[in-house]
Amino acid sequence: MQTSARTIVVDDGASLAVECAGPEDAPALLLSNSLGTTMAMWDPQIQSFADRYRVVRYDGRGQGQSQSTPGGYSMDRLGRDALAVLDALGIARAHFCGLSMGGMVGQWLAHRAPDRLLRLVLANTSACMAPASAWQQRIEGVLANGMGPLAQASLARWFTPAFLEASPAQTDWISGMLLANDPQGYAGSCAAIRDMDQRPTAALNRVPTLVIAGTADQATTVEDAQFLVAAAADANLVTLPAAHLSNVECPDLFAQAVLAHLAQD
């Protein structure tokens, strides 16, 4: 599989790392990563996706090789970053698949830029993650103490105990992403989630949508997923036997669900 990497600069001067794979003349599929990870989190699916689509993945602002701009971010800012990636590549419309924070970006796109979307996948995500005080506490902790204290607690939320025990290579890989985060970029992204409440706009989603939930996900629950499905005009729910990072814990089932949804056009 051939890939091409580039850096784009968005309207506020921030640089974002972008990678493309798959046939250039195929429909585009934009992937958006979760909080604390990089575009590499999509490695388990990239080959199967790139066989059929022009796959575009990018490191969210403050993550991976993308720039960590100072201060708190907003979901509006992260959504406009996603649009800037499409614009830089000359892509008028794309499928979109986002997990956790990436799914929150997808929700923003569904009501702010639906004309740019073909089909939408919202995985392990929520329209609101209250209380704001918990996110503020996390921001202050990361800025004071770095990523180390947070990493182990995150793994316990992101994976089931059975997967943590059986798949140390995979969990170490994700842990490495977490530990490599710039605390400023991580804190900036946390602020976007802290200040987000997309429940009032969830009913504006008219894009054909697949919502994926993990049955053991305590961060973004099946009930959170059911809310998104009930609010949208055209949405279906798939549950996977996983916790929060369902694409890592159930890579094949995740890919099958996404590809089946995208193939309906």
1: pLDDT strictly greater than 80: no
CB atoms within 10 A of CB 100: 28
**Closest among 197, 240, 248 to 216, alpha carbons compared:** 240
CATH number, domain with residue 90: 3.40.50.1820
Mean pLDDT computed over every residue of the chain? 97
Tens digits of per-residue pLDDT, 145-165? Answer: 999 999 888 999 999 999 999
**Into how many domains does the chain fold?**
1
CA dist 120 and 99 (Å) reads 11
pTM of the model: 0.97
- Per residue in 64-99, pLDDT (tens digit) is 999 999 999 999 999 999 999 999 999 999 999 999
170-213 pLDDT, tens digit per residue, is: 999 999 999 999 999 999 999 999 999 999 999 999 999 999 99
Helices 132-145 and 148-158 sit at what angle, rounded to 10 degrees? 140
Please say if the pLDDT value at position 8 is more than 80: yes
Cα-based distances in Å from 218 to 43, 147, 162, 177, 190: 24, 21, 15, 21, 18
Element (H, E) at 211: strand 209-214
| Whole-number pLDDT of residue 152 | 83
- Coil, strand or helix: which one is 77? helix
Q: Residue 228 sits in which domain range?
A: 3-262
Please report where in the chains the tokens 């590809």 appear, as a residue: 259
pLDDT of 213 reads: 98
Distance (Å, rounded) from C-alpha 34 to C-alpha 222?
Answer: 17
Contact, 161 vs 241, CB < 8 A?
Answer: no
